[in-house]
Amino acid sequence: MSTPDSLHTLQRIRRQYVRQKVLLYALQALAVVALGFAILYKWQVEVPVLAALALALILGAIVYFARAWKSIQKTDLRQVARHLNRNYPQLEDSAEFLLRPTTELNLLERLQQQKVAANIQSAIPATQQVFYLKRNPTLAALGIALLIATGIVFLPAAPLASTTPPEQVQLEFPDTPQEVADTAVSVQEIDITITPPSYTGKKSYKADQPNLRVEQGATVSWRIRTNRPARTLQLVLNEEKPIAVKASNGSYTLSKAFTEPALYHINVNGQKSAYYTLEIIPDEAPVLQIKKPEQYTEILFGDPQRVTLQAQLSDDYGLRDANMIATVAKGTGEAVKFREEKISLGFGKQSRTFNINKTIDLQKLGMTYGDELYFYVQAWDNHRGYTRSETFFVQIEDTTIVESMDDLTMGVNPVPEYFRSQRQIIIDTEKLIKEQKSLSRAVFEERGNNLGVDQKLLRLRYGKFLGEEFESGIGPGGGIPEGAEGHGEEEHFSGDGHDHPEFEDQNSAEALLDPYLHKHDQEEAATFFEPAVKAKLKGALAQMWEAELRLRTHRPKEALPYEYKALRMLKEVQQSTRAYAAKTGFDPPPLKEPEKRMTGDLSKIKAPTERRTIETETKLPQTRKALQWLERQKQGGRYSQADVALLERAGQEMAQEALAKPGRYLRAMQDLRTLIADIHANKDLCTECLITIERAWTELLPPVAPSPQKQGTTRSKLARGYLEELER
């Protein structure tokens, strides 16, 4: 074992570190606790928010100190040894050997242990401080916290709890002189209750200030109580005709519904209050966001005849109903027919948002190839809001329509009628697949084999366009697919008296040289198609071959994709065989150019003689006069009581223009009322009020039309020299 003195030294260092660390965390927690107790002592529980904050500070400090204490206690002697290795080179990074038993060490480690035990006594005396923790930041924080807590406890402070109830509204009367007799009528209490309309789903509430912001269609009720009965008490909206407030049970009440913004003030026995705003929160229309499908969707052959509708509907107060209007168009030309249906989207109870995820089956709507679907989504909110989405188009591709202009430019349609029989094979194959469970095995195989024969006949007909007058040239095994022998076709062999190239000698000279010879009488060369069209037609015949193979072997489900591919490639061939023929029309006679051109005859051209007199209407005439009056006042002019009428009329124009943005001109309206009160009292006019009113009136006036002016040009020395040379 290591010497007892060395272990005692390590334990002493650990106790020293624990004491210093605990003291540091205790001072930090004490600073926070002092603030919490000071707040509780000053305001106790009168203010719930501050009481909760104080308790949170105290509890947080306690939890912080407890977690720090737990972390400090985990410090062991190994951490102390690593710390000594980092700070004392005399220990040669071997202080941890002092913690290990001597029996577990080899000879070299025991020698090193004895050396370290001797060095640690000399390197670290008993009175030496090993750990140095930074206490200055903690002591500074503690001092600041104690100063703040002392200020909270001993310094006087205004109570945070408001003595005025939050629902009580105070009105200002700038026209009222300061020397008011005790017998004057004054407003003691005013309550403003707002009743939102039913479509919002909100309950009535009280306003906490006279500047109101209410829902569109809300009813505002004023209840005013005065110290004595008033002779007249009126509500003035937008400087228009005052509305008398009715007296009821010692108070005055008035209720009015608002759909437009307004400026208002209270008039008590001729004393006008300050101007206040009444803004309207408009009812927004429902918002539709269509995620799927696209604006135009075409369903190709083989694709599921379904459309997925994904949308999100939302409204500020709630949706009342939502549905989809679908119109199905069937037929072409003058024989087209329309049928409109209303499709439910599963909208249930009223809500602010509604997500739509609906799959529309076009076959249930009675649609088939070539039909079109037009639909849109519409929604209503609880009020008068209505929103309709854009119209979406869905079309099912139709192969019976030849996308060519040949029928308009030529007298005869050159497209053969058997271009359309591939679609009939697809229809019969789908029908066979659908009826497979109800058919017997023999009937199912017979119908599948008959479809294979029809596919073969169609393939041979299209093969004529490639010069294939006989069954050859497509696919392995000649004219009959591999594995299809014995199903409706007679088998042939080399000795039955017919010509069969596949049974000829494949090692003859002609067979070996055949791929390298340029023959002019080949079947494929005797065609009138371009190479690109010929390649598409060959691909269609190859798909028919694959479909025929699977129909002959009683696998109609596997044959269906090849049938669709063949049909699509045939349609591409049809579209590539467009023809154009110039139409004949009326050729106008040539103009007599020598008689008309370059004569300069303007006798038949007359200048317009129509004249109109437009009287320009001067906007805001009273505001313009008031601005002139303000300019005279700034130059030291005198005012009279007659100027009040001019300012009142200008204030009415400002109130009318400020309806769109009541809060923007509220300060100017109040300063105008103060200016009128100064004129009534024969006082000096408020300078700041003059500046505010002038700025507001100038902003109300429309901008002056720019007049043409001569633009000054500044030329460089080089440009001036160039002009001088030109003038010489």
Using an 8 Å Cβ cutoff, are 131 and 80 in contact? Answer: no
Q: Does 72 share its domain with 42?
A: yes
Q: Does 329 share its domain with 229?
A: no
pLDDT value at position 119? 67
581 Ramachandran zone, left/alpha/beta (phi>0; psi -120 to 50):
beta
Range of the domain at 246: 187-281
Alpha helical stretches, state H, 207-308: none
The length of the chain is 728
pLDDT value at position 401? 52
Q: Does 373 share its domain with 433?
A: no
Q: Summarize the confidence of residues 110-121 as an average pLDDT.
A: 71
State yes or no: pLDDT of 648 exceeds 50: yes
pLDDT value at position 156? 58
More confident residue, 595 or 473: 595
Rounded Cα gap, residues 382 and 285, in angstroms: 10
Residue for token digits 């199905």?
Answer: 328
Using an 8 Å Cβ cutoff, are 413 and 406 in contact? Answer: yes
Residue for token digits 């409706």?
Answer: 488
Rounded Cα gap, residues 83 and 77, in angstroms: 10
State yes or no: pLDDT of 179 exceeds 60: no
Quote the percentage of the chain above a pLDDT of 90: 10
State yes or no: pLDDT of 494 exceeds 50: no
Q: Summarize the confidence of residues 229-252 as an average pLDDT.
A: 82
> Where does a domain end: 223, 249, 281?
281
Using an 8 Å Cβ cutoff, are 215 and 202 in contact? Answer: yes
Q: Cβ neighbours of residue 420 under 8 Å, at least 6 residues apart?
A: 399, 400
pLDDT value at position 178? 44
Task: Provide the 3-class DSSP secondary structure of residue 27.
Answer: helix
Query: Across all residues in the chain, what is the average pLDDT?
Result: 76
Give CA 592 to chain center in angstroms.
Answer: 65
Please report whether residue 587 resides in a domain. Answer: no
The DSSP result for 517-555, as a single string, is ---SS-TTTS--S-HHHHHHHHHHHHHHHHHHHHHHTT-
Please report whether residue 176 resides in a domain. Answer: no
More confident residue, 372 or 42: 372
Using an 8 Å Cβ cutoff, are 533 and 576 in contact? Answer: yes
DSSP element (H, E) containing 85: helix 77-87
State yes or no: pLDDT of 190 exceeds 90: no
More confident residue, 131 or 36: 36
**pLDDT band (50, 70, 90) for residue 616:** low
Torsion from C-alpha of 226, 227, 228, 232, nearest 10 degrees: -30
Q: Summarize the confidence of residues 262-290 as an average pLDDT.
A: 85
Using an 8 Å Cβ cutoff, are 296 and 312 in contact? Answer: no
pLDDT value at position 503? 45
CB atoms within 10 A of CB 377: 22
State yes or no: pLDDT of 130 exceeds 80: no
pLDDT value at position 73? 76
Q: Summarize the confidence of residues 491-517 as an average pLDDT.
A: 52
Please report whether residue 422 resides in a domain. Answer: yes
Task: Provide the 3-class DSSP secondary structure of residue 420.
Answer: helix
pTM of the model: 0.46
Q: Cβ neighbours of residue 243 under 8 Å, at least 6 residues apart?
A: 234, 235, 236, 237, 254, 256
Using an 8 Å Cβ cutoff, are 206 and 167 in contact? Answer: yes
Q: Summarize the confidence of residues 536-544 as an average pLDDT.
A: 88
pLDDT digits 0-9 by tens, 312-322: 999 988 898 99
DSSP element (H, E) containing 206: strand 205-206
Amino acid found at 536? K
The DSSP result for 409-421, as a single string, is HSSS--S-GGGGH
Using an 8 Å Cβ cutoff, are 384 and 343 in contact? Answer: no
Tokens representing 184?
A: 């004057």
User: Any idea which of 411-420, 678-687, 696-705 has the lowest mean pLDDT?
Assistant: 411-420
- From residue 396, alpha-carbon distances to 58, 305, 363, 559 in Å are 73, 8, 11, 22
What order do you get walking across the sheet with 251-257 strand by strand? 205-206, 187-195, 219-226, 251-257, 246-248
Q: Summarize the confidence of residues 252-278 as an average pLDDT.
A: 85
Q: Summarize the confidence of residues 384-404 as an average pLDDT.
A: 77
Nearest CA-CA partner of 287 in 311, 315, 309? 315
**pLDDT band (50, 70, 90) for residue 169:** low
Nearest CA-CA partner of 84 in 74, 93, 97? 93
Please report whether residue 33 resides in a domain. Answer: yes
Maximum separation of any 2 CA atoms in the chain, in Å: 139
Rounded Cα gap, residues 113 and 105, in angstroms: 9
Residue for token digits 């579209």?
Answer: 575
Please report whether residue 139 resides in a domain. Answer: yes
Q: Does 59 share its domain with 137?
A: yes
Q: Does 326 share its domain with 431?
A: no
Q: Does 549 share its domain with 410?
A: yes
Using an 8 Å Cβ cutoff, are 330 and 426 in contact? Answer: no
Quote the percentage of the chain above a pLDDT of 70: 71
Question: 585: buried, middle or exposed (CB in 10 Å: 19+, 13-18, 0-12)?
Answer: exposed
**pLDDT band (50, 70, 90) for residue 166:** very low
CB atoms within 10 A of CB 536: 20
More confident residue, 176 or 211: 211
Give CA 450 to chain center in angstroms.
Answer: 58
Q: Which residues pair with 309 in a beta bridge?
A: 358
Interior angle at CA 487, CA 484 and CA 489, nearest 5: 90
Q: Does 144 share its domain with 43?
A: yes
Q: Which residues pair with 307 in a beta bridge?
A: 360
Q: Does 443 share its domain with 384?
A: no
State yes or no: pLDDT of 562 exceeds 60: yes
Amino acid found at 451? L
pLDDT value at position 415? 41
Split into its structural domains, the chain has a count of 5
Task: Provide the 3-class DSSP secondary structure of residue 592.
Answer: coil
Please report whether residue 295 resides in a domain. Answer: yes
Rounded Cα gap, residues 226 and 253, in angstroms: 12
Interior angle at CA 365, CA 364 and CA 368, nearest 5: 90
pLDDT value at position 607? 74
Rounded Cα gap, residues 707 and 701, in angstroms: 17
Q: Cβ neighbours of residue 191 under 8 Å, at least 6 residues apart?
A: 167, 168, 169, 206, 222, 223
Per-range mean pLDDT, top range of 170-174, 449-453, 653-657: 449-453
CB atoms within 10 A of CB 676: 19
Q: Does 383 share its domain with 433?
A: no
Nearest CA-CA partner of 330 in 389, 396, 263? 396
> Where does a domain end: 131, 154, 177?
154
Rounded Cα gap, residues 650 and 623, in angstroms: 5
Q: What are phi and psi of 270, to 5 degrees?
A: 85, -10
Alpha helical stretches, state H, 74-155: 77-87, 107-123, 136-154
Residue for token digits 């008959």?
Answer: 450
> Where does a domain end: 576, 596, 611?
576
Question: 655: buried, middle or exposed (CB in 10 Å: 19+, 13-18, 0-12)?
Answer: buried
Using an 8 Å Cβ cutoff, are 685 and 633 in contact? Answer: yes
Rounded Cα gap, residues 199 and 283, in angstroms: 9
Nearest CA-CA partner of 217 in 256, 258, 254, 255? 258
Please report whether residue 248 resides in a domain. Answer: yes
More confident residue, 576 or 408: 576
pLDDT value at position 111? 76
Q: What is the CATH number of the domain that holds 349?
A: 2.60.40
More confident residue, 65 or 586: 65
Rounded Cα gap, residues 201 and 317, in angstroms: 7
Give CA 372 to chain center in angstroms.
Answer: 31
Percent helix, strand and coil across the chain, each to the nearest 5:
45, 15, 40
**pLDDT band (50, 70, 90) for residue 547:** very high
Q: Summarize the confidence of residues 269-288 as an average pLDDT.
A: 85
Q: Does 234 share its domain with 382?
A: no
User: Any idea which of 214-228, 359-373, 526-540, 569-583 has the lowest mean pLDDT?
Assistant: 569-583
Q: Which residues pair with 393 in a beta bridge?
A: 296, 374
More confident residue, 481 or 509: 509
pLDDT value at position 642? 80
Tokens representing 656?
A: 């009318």
Please report whether residue 170 resides in a domain. Answer: no
Q: Does 559 share its domain with 423?
A: yes
Q: Does 373 share its domain with 449?
A: no
State yes or no: pLDDT of 377 exceeds 90: yes
More confident residue, 704 or 151: 151
pLDDT value at position 19? 77
Q: Summarize the confidence of residues 158-171 as an average pLDDT.
A: 51
How far separated are the first and last CA of the chain, in Å rounded?
117
